Every structure is written in C-alpha cells, then in structure tokens.
Amino acid sequence: MNFRKYLFFLAVLYIISPGCAQDISVHDPVVAKEGDRYYLFCTGMGVSVFSSPDLKTWKKEKPVFQTAPSWSEEVVPGFKNHIWAPDISFYNGRYYLYYSVSAFAKNTSAIGVATNVTLSPGDKDYKWTDHGIVVQSVPNRDLWNAIDPNLVFDDAGAPWLTFGSFWGGMKLVRLSDDLLSVARPEEWYTIAKRERHSFTEDTQPGDAAIEAPFIFKKDDWYYLFVSFDFCCRGEDSTYKVMAGRSENISGPYTDKAGKPMTEGGGTPVITGNARWAGAGHNSIYTFDGKDYLIFHAYDNSDEGKPKLKIMEVSWKDGWPEVDQSRL
C-alpha cells in the first residue's frame, strides 16, 4: 500500500452498514478461517475487520487497535492510527497479524506484528498483543519501503517476510523462529522490481509502480503475486495483478515468458474492465480444497469506491488463471 492510498482515503469517505452486507468497501483484503467463520482484515483505522460464514455476507467487527500502537508515533510523528495493508497467518497455536505504519509520500515506514490465540471477538481469550516493529525503513538510508507485509514459510518450515512498494521493489527477509524479528545473520533478497529512473530522489517513491507482494506455494512452485501500476484513483485506477514463479522461495522468480521479475517481468492474472477499475493488492488462499484470489477493485458504477472481490483460481500448465469475464 503506497501513499496514494492515503490520499484516496482522505478524499473518499464512505459508510459501511453495521449489519451484514455483501457489497463491502475495502482496501488490501486478507482472510483467515477459524472454525466455520472467515475473518477479513484490511486497511483502515486500527485495521478494519469483517467476519463471514460464507465469504459472501460480511459483518463489520471492532478494529484490531482501538488506539494507535504505542511505538507508531516514534516512527511517524502525528500518526493517526490509519494502518495499511495487514497480513494474517496462523502458526503454532497463534494468529500473527503483520501491519504497516507509514508516513504520507515517504518511505518513513515500519511493519509491526500483533498476535492473538483466536479471531473470534466473542471468545474469552480474545486479545490482540502487539510486539512492536519487525522491519523499518528510513528515508536516505533505505531504498525500499517497509509496507505491504506477507508471511510465508519455505519447505523446511523457515519463516520469511516479503514486503515492499515502489522505491527498490519487493524484498524478502528471513525471520526469527518466533516470527517477531529479523533472523540473525540477516538474509535479504530483492525478488521483484521495475525500472526506477535514475533522476529520482531517494526520498521519493518514483515511477517504479510495483507493490503488494504475496507468495503462495502450489505443488513444486512458489508463486509471487504483485500489483503493477496505480491504485486509489477511483475510476482512473490502473492496478493489475501480475505473477511469477520460482522453485526456491528466494527466487529467481520468472514470468511465463521466462523474464525475471527483478527485470520487470510478470504474467497478468487479473486486470480491470469497464465496470471494475484497478483490480489489485491481492491475497490467495486454499479454502475447502479450492483456491481463491482475494483483492479489491474500484466500482465505476458506484463513484469508483473500492470493493471486495473474491474469485476462484484455476491452474493451467502451472500458471494461475481467473475468469476475467466474471469480474
């Protein structure tokens, strides 16, 4: 999630019904299933949360954070608890929620993590515990942006965090076994990027429009999904989901034509159409034996508002496909 999303949220205010609804406005959705209920986390004040029995009808729940994490103001002075692009995973009896704290138009950013033993707000043990910063980016020090996290495990069970937006592209770093910090010695990789013009100041996001990495293991391949181009412009959004694959979690990831994703490669998975602009910032999961692509797109029939989209994924010759006509 980049700074343009912040502009969009300030410019477009919308009301979500406190009851259940099928047509919900979200940015950057991720989902986990606990028992017979699905929980969706997305960008919003304190991390917005919805729940559903069927991935269709959604009920708005209380946000994860009622007030901003205590450390956030040290990273971003004046931070107002508008948290971007969460990621949710279950590991060893706990849910791990990674989330992004960032300043407008800068890579003054950090990824934090909170844990909970349940996602059900009605459970007596429901309580989010924040563990602070996992990764932080600083202008004029780092040519990357610590936002849009995604936790993934390799075949040996080792945890990795991928993240990034604009600047120097998508990064991958090995995490410690408790998933709360970067492992030592540090292992860092660049797994996808687009050309960044050399005249761009280090403090500026530039024109290398790529963000929102998400890694999904399928059969013998790790698939890296990213979003190209621009979100958060309503009907003028140009977001699109691209993918590459690798036999190793650290890459190299290449597209269907064999072009490395570190050289701008990517095979299209979903793009917008006349009704839906800027389809992107996806996650992908297997629920009950089916794979689903979960993302947002801007509804041109409703003032360009960002809406939740869930589409079943099929696989052809080892590559993900969705039925664009059903968007």
pLDDT 10s digits, 124-159: 999 999 999 999 999 989 989 999 999 999 999 999
Q: Is 107 exposed, middle or buried (0-12, 13-18, 19+ CB in 10 A)?
A: buried
Residue type, 108: T
The residues of the chain scoring below 70 in pLDDT are 1-19
Which pTM value belongs to this model?
0.92
pLDDT value, residue 32: 98
42 CA to centre of own chain: 9
3-326 belongs to which homologous superfamily? Glycosyl hydrolase domain; family 43 (2.115.10.20)
Distance CA 48, CA 16 (A): 11
Catalytic residue IDs = 28, 211
pLDDT value, residue 11: 41
pLDDT value, residue 197: 83
Domain map of the chain by residue range?
3-326
pLDDT tens digit string along 210-254? 999 999 999 999 999 999 988 888 888 889 999 999 999 999 999
**Sheet with 159-163: strands ordered across:** 150-153, 159-163, 170-174, 188-192
β-sheet bridge partners, residue 21: 58
What one-character-per-residue DSSP string does 96-160 give? EEEEEEE-TTS--EEEEEEEES-S-TTSTT---EEEEEEEEE-TTT-SS---S-EEEE-TT--EE
DSSP state of 6: H
Give CA separation, 173 vs 30, 47, 96, 265, in Å.
Answer: 21, 24, 17, 21
